[in-house]
Amino acid sequence: MSVIKKFLGQTAIYGVSTVFSRLFNFILTPIFTKVYAKATYGIFTNMYANATLINALLAFGMETTYFRYLNKFEDKKQSVYNNSFLCIAALATIFLGLGLSFSDTIAAYLASNASQLNDYKQFVRYFLWILFLDAICIIPFAKLRADGRPFKYSVVKFVNIGCFVLCNLCFLFALPYLIQHNVLGAGAFSSWYVHQWIGYVFVSNLIASVLTFALLLPEFLKVQFKFDRYLFASMLGYSWPILIANLSFIVNENLDKIMLKKMLPAQLADGDVGVYGAVCKIAVFMSIFITAFRLGAEPFFFSYAKNENAKKVYALILRYFVVALSVLFVALVANIEMLKFFISKQEYWVGLPAVPFLLFGYVCLGIYMNLSVWYRLSDQTHFGLYISLIGAVLTIVFNILLIPHFSYMGSAWVSMFAYFVMMVVSYLLGQKHYPIPYQLNKILAYLLSSVVLVVLSFWVFNRNIYIGNALLLAFLGAIFYFEKAELKQLFFRKKD
């Protein structure tokens, strides 16, 4: 059990920093939804959905490849670092050059009408630089995790989010206050400041990305401009299926927002995308937990793979992980009547029925990410490609079918269904090619119980916060009853 404690300890550091960083970012959701109209917030949602797709492409699957090859070729750690970084840096530089050359064309594609074109030209240029900076920071961040420096990783991430939040508050409130009260220097600001311009969100992001780059300079200086071609050929064979799989995952996560904008009538598109993007923010707590788990689990799974009891440990981790996901799923739905106030304007609350479906989709995604250890450790990453392509095809086909009839509700259903199918397929293939003794009965019991409790809380009892939390407490009590022996062993036993 000591190895589980070590894993939990590392994950907790990532978790605390991720929670605080994302909560700082989450502060902006009620501010944005209060300041910006639905259509304007839809621009924000659409820009970030497109950016996320490109970010996955630029990462090229090299983050996971870096972790795998550090443990596969322990005598070539510097070469693995060099190759991983230089690959992404080259791609990012080419992307930046091409993007700047065709920025006006890209802006014309993204803009809904001619009146938005000038703004979108600026938005595109900001995002090109944001994506470039974020891409070249991927491997330095991965190095911090691989070297067992979660504290520094967390500090840099925290500073990034803090800078982003502070810059937004400055643009939205501080500068208008200075201009309105004619404070010294106000004339210089009033000459260029545009009231409630959504572009300031993207400017703030760019400033935060530049600061992050500066903080990671010590890691950049450790790169040696030596490229091992033979090692890279092997790394490429491992990484390109990861790249396609990651792109497919991003398609599942973000294409619905892009398709909503393109498939709905122009007078509804930005508004519905804004509503959907806002209610998706309520699911951020589930996303935070899954992100924290991934940050701790990825390097741990690779480094622990050579131990003889590795599969038993992986099975135990999934069981505890499902318990945590199930509890969080029930807790968020039980308290949705409070969480909705983070979305300030009531016009966004119409999208709340999508939240339980989005949350359960995240539950399936988290389990899928845990299950994916089998094809990463067995160097069968092509299976990850196939599974993700299945999810992407389901996302595209069913969004085309459902969006015209159900708008963002159709997208929420599709998201949940795609992740559910990916989870099931990964489990079945994993048990065939790299069997891990998962306790399927207990896992299914917790999942099905959480779904039943969510249905009761949200639909049967109409989101009553008292009944919802009573159901949550009953669930926690049942979990403690059935898991008390293992929990005592995990937290109170000193030796394995």
Q: Is the predicted pLDDT of residue 361 greater than 70, yes or no?
A: yes
Q: Which two tokens stand for residue 251?
A: 């398609």
pLDDT at 11: 67
- Alpha helix stretches (DSSP H) within 264-283: 266-280
pLDDT at 23: 66
pLDDT at 271: 83
Chain segment 76-103, per-residue pLDDT in tens: 999 999 999 999 999 999 999 999 999 9
Least confident among 38-42, 410-414, 460-464: 38-42
205-229 average pLDDT score: 95
Q: Which two tokens stand for residue 198?
A: 């959504």
For the chain, give the mean pLDDT: 87
Q: Counting beta carbons within 10 angstroms of the beta carbon of residue 45, is it exposed (0 to 12), middle (13 to 18) or buried (19 or more)? A: buried
pLDDT band at residue 16, thresholds of 50, 70 and 90? Answer: low
pLDDT at 495: 47
Identify which has the larger pLDDT, 411 or 494.
Answer: 411
CA separation, residue 228 to residues 36, 219, 448, 489 (Å): 50, 19, 50, 47
pLDDT at 490: 63
- Return the number of other C-beta atoms located less than 10 Å from residue 189's C-beta: 14
345-357 average pLDDT score: 90
pLDDT at 322: 96
pLDDT at 496: 44
With contact defined as beta carbons under 8 Å apart, do 454 and 333 qualify?
A: yes
Report the C-alpha gap between 349 and 483 in whole angstroms. 37
pLDDT at 289: 81
Identify which has the larger pLDDT, 44 or 135.
Answer: 135
- Alpha helix stretches (DSSP H) within 335-380: 336-339, 355-371, 373-377
Q: Is the predicted pLDDT of residue 437 greater than 50, yes or no?
A: yes
Q: Is the predicted pLDDT of residue 276 greater than 60, yes or no?
A: yes
Q: Is the predicted pLDDT of residue 410 greater than 90, yes or no?
A: yes
> Which of the given ranges, 50-59, 211-220, 480-489, has the highest pLDDT on average?
211-220
Least confident among 27-41, 158-172, 325-339: 27-41
> What percentage of the chain has pLDDT greater than the value 90?
50
